[in-house]
Structure 1
Amino acid sequence: MMPAAPPHVRPEQEGGPRRARLLMGLGLALLGLWTLHGFLPALAWGGILAIATWPLYRRTRQRWPRHGHDILWPALFTAAIALLVLLPLGLMAIQAGREAGSLLAWLQQAERSGLPVPAWIATLPFGAAQASAWWQETLADPGGAGELLARLNGPEVLSLGRQLGADLLHRAVLFGFAILTLFFLFRDGDRLAAQLLHLARRSFGPSGERVARQMVASVHGTVDGLVLVGLGEGALLGIAYAVAGVPHPTLLGALTALAAMIPFGAPLVFGAAALVLLAQGAATAAAAIFGFGMVVVFVADHAVRPALIGGATRLPFLLVLLGILGGVETWGLLGLFLGPAIMAALVLLWEEWTAAH
């Protein structure tokens, strides 16, 4: 007896189950994102660090291959990246601890005898008399200085300190999860990348894979344009700080490098260094530091950085700048890397959709 032939399914009847699977998948994806929303920044930072260091990791693993579970290179690279982040922070914390004693002694002296008017106020090009009078009435008088310091030691400052401590603890936890994510991405990165490219091709066709590759390339370009250029600016200005006699030039150079990763951030640091020199009476050195810093920032922001980021992302300078600033405003520090990647994907889609066929 011949088996019955399967019923013929018409194409319009297949659409219902396909739409149901699509809706179910979308719903589960949104539910998963909502469940993990508190850890998404850690996952994103782990992904950005993995993408930025993947070429070096891949070359190292190919040069000295491992067999079996292959956890040696993922563990070593993860530990090295964690140390690159933690060591500068530890040095800054040690330096801050050393300065805390001097700051406390300075505050106690100011409360007992007030603060004399510094000599550099008299050299101000305008407002010197008003500033000197305000200082004499407020800070030079022990009563006025004590009243001002009492305001600084009020409940608002204590509340701010508790909030800062809670925020630091939260960021430390996120950093721990980012490092853990980085280890697993190093270990399983090849398989995960292949799965993501397959998903992009299956969902959006060839353009989906091109967009994914362009976003990865934009992260590489942004890391080179922001991190490496920022480190270069910090090194140059750190040398300038040491030559000009700015206190703690190494620490200020590290702060300059961190600030230089954000557009228009470095002038805040070398401007403060110039003010410190001006307060010490070294007006020429202060002007030299500020002028040299502006030259370094101008060259970096208008020549080196757009070439590195724009060359990798194929974006004009205006879109690079808008992507970085808009990304920082929307996503925080993650936006430094997400903003240009999103703009690069949009530009690629725009070029494909508007191309003449």
Structure 2
Amino acid sequence: MLSAKTKISRRIVPWLALGGLIALASMVVAPFLAPIAWAGVLAYASWPVAERIRRWCNNKDTLAAFLATALLALTLFLPLIWLVWLAQLELGHLFPALQAFLANPPPVPETLRSLPWLGEWLMQQQAHFTANPNGASLVFKNWLAAHTADLSMLAGGLGKSLAKMIFVVVILFFFFRDGTRIVRELRHVLERFIGAHVHDYLHAAGTTTRAVVYGILLTALVQGVVAGLGYWVAGLSSPVMFGVLTMILALIPFGTPLAWGAAGLLLLLQGETGAAIGVWIWGAAIVSQLDNVLRPLFISSISPIPFLLVLFGVLGGLLAFGLVGLFIGPIVLSVVWAVWREWTAHLDEVTAVN
């Protein structure tokens, strides 16, 4: 008979080998974790469309995956190319408008003059620009010259982001093609380690993930549309572009003021003071407040997740994982919440039986 020491070594050695293999695999895959996470979020959000395409293709997995990936890639890249084109047009008009504004700043409205501290500061700035119109332009040019290296790093970062987006599209194809098999094998492996209750855990985790992803996306979409309508009424030259920008920034909690603040500033530079104030009021009173109403409403309609948990997940995920953390953070915390609730429910059942 084998000794106890031999039995223990036979158990430990395979686990050590498996742990080392997982560590090596993690080191290899680490540079691609962000594209994999983005592809997972996008595949999950668009899975119903991919399944419908699969049925149209008579369950030809490769063809269906190619069509679904091409459709999603067009949905991602065409708006991005269009936004870049509109942005370079707007930037071409922005610098002359800024120069004209600094050379001849509009008078401070009477409503703003009466505000304590702010009115006096605005009047001082107007007097300064009127007395020295070239000073601000010189400061701006010196700032650009001093930050040339930073701008080059920004351009390099954009190139890396584009490469990551290409990786996301490639990974999406394989997720669409092999996603059903991957999930089936994952369920089988987890069932061996956790037991039959893993199916309840996965169901709760899937429902919670769907609530978070759709809640975040739908809220951002509504905020972008409502903001775009306000920009159009105010007479902004590119209301659609700023509406899409608002939608993107709405994915980040408290991010929409960057969009409607910039839109109001652009109107102010064009001499439309009243329209600028209207955009700022519309953004602060309506657009930003929609996040506090719609996001909990959308998420709680699918799964009763505490809003504070989603808020911590978004902010913590953004700090930990970057932009993809907007989805990964709340998904992780929400899945932990769902598994915890399922686990306590099973414990209550066991206690009741005993």
Return the TM-score normalized by structure 1.
0.85
Q: What amino acid does structure 2 have at the position aligned with 1:171? A: S
Choose the corresponding residue for 1:72, options 36, 59, 63.
63
| C-alpha distance in 2 between matches for 1:308 and 1:219 | 12
**Deviation at residue 172 of structure 1 after TM alignment:** 1.0
Distance 1:181 1:216 in 2: 21
Q: Which of the residues 263, 278, 281 maps onto 1:290?
A: 281
| 1:97 maps to which of 88, 91, 105 | 88
- Aligned residue for 1:120, secondary structure, equals coil
Distance 1:295 1:102, change over 3 A: closer
Q: Structure 1: how far apart are the matches of 2:273 and 2:130?
A: 23
CA–CA distance in structure 1, aligned partners of residues 184 and 68 of structure 2: 21
> For the structure 1 residues 314 and 19, does the alpha-carbon distance in structure 2 shift closer, same or farther, using more than 3 Å as the test?
farther
Which residue in 2 is equivalent to 1:119? 107
CA contact (8 A) 2:225 2:243 kept: yes
Q: Please list, as runs of the form range in 1=range in 2, the aligned pairs for 1:50-199 lying within 5 A after superposition.
A: 50-67=43-60, 70-106=61-97, 115-120=103-108, 124=112, 125-126=115-116, 127-138=118-129, 140-156=131-147, 158-199=148-189
Match of 1:318 among 308, 314, 322: 308
Which residue of structure 2 lines up, in the alignment, with residue 200 of structure 1? Answer: 190
Report the alpha carbon displacement of residue 96 of structure 1 after superposing the two structures with TM: 2.1
Match of 1:229 among 198, 206, 219: 219
Quick check: 1:266 aligned with 2:266? Answer: no
Report how far residue 208 of structure 1 moved. 3.8
Aligned position for 2:233: 243
CA distance in 2, matches of 1:256, 1:242: 13
Q: State the TM-score, normalized to the length of structure 2.
A: 0.85
Name the CA shift for 1:300/1:105 in 2 (closer, same or farther; >3 Å). Answer: closer
SS in 2 for 1:315: coil
1:26 aligns with 2:19: yes
Gap runs ≥5 in structure 1 = 1-7
Cα distance in 1 for partners of 2:255, 2:282 equals 16
Amino acid at match of 1:116: N
Query: 1:36 and 2:29 equivalent?
Result: yes
Shift of 1:253: 0.7
Change (3 A) 1:101 1:327: closer
Contact 1:259–1:266 (CA under 8 A) maintained in structure 2: yes
Counterpart check, 1:254 vs 2:244: yes
Distance, in Å, in 1 between the alignment partners of 2:130 and 2:167 is 46
- Separation of aligned partners in 1, 2:230 and 2:192: 54
CA distance in 1, matches of 2:91, 2:55: 48
Give % identity.
32
Q: 1:255 and 1:140, CA in 2 relative to 1: closer, same or farther beyond 3 A?
A: farther
Q: Per-residue CA shift, 1:80-135, capped at 9, x if unaligned?
A: 1111111221111111222343345457x56xx96122223665234444433334
Q: CA deviation at 1:345?
A: 2.7
| Structure 2 runs not aligned, ≥5 long | none
Q: Tell me the CA shift for residue 28 of structure 1.
A: 1.1
Pick closer, same or farther for the CA change 1:101–1:306 going to 2, 3 Å: closer
Go from structure 1 to structure 2 and tell me whether the alpha carbon gap of 1:42 and 1:56 turns closer, same or farther (over 3 Å shift). Answer: same
Instruction: Quote the offset at 1:201 in angstroms.
Output: 1.2
- Whether 2:22 is the aligned partner of 1:48: answer no
After superposition, the Cα gap between the structure-2 partners of 1:135 and 1:195, relative to the gap in structure 1 and judged at 3 Å, is same
Q: Who is 1:5 aligned against?
A: none
The one-letter code of the counterpart of 1:273 is: A
* Alpha-carbon distance, 1:341 to partner: 2.0
Q: How many residues align?
A: 343
RMSD: 2.8
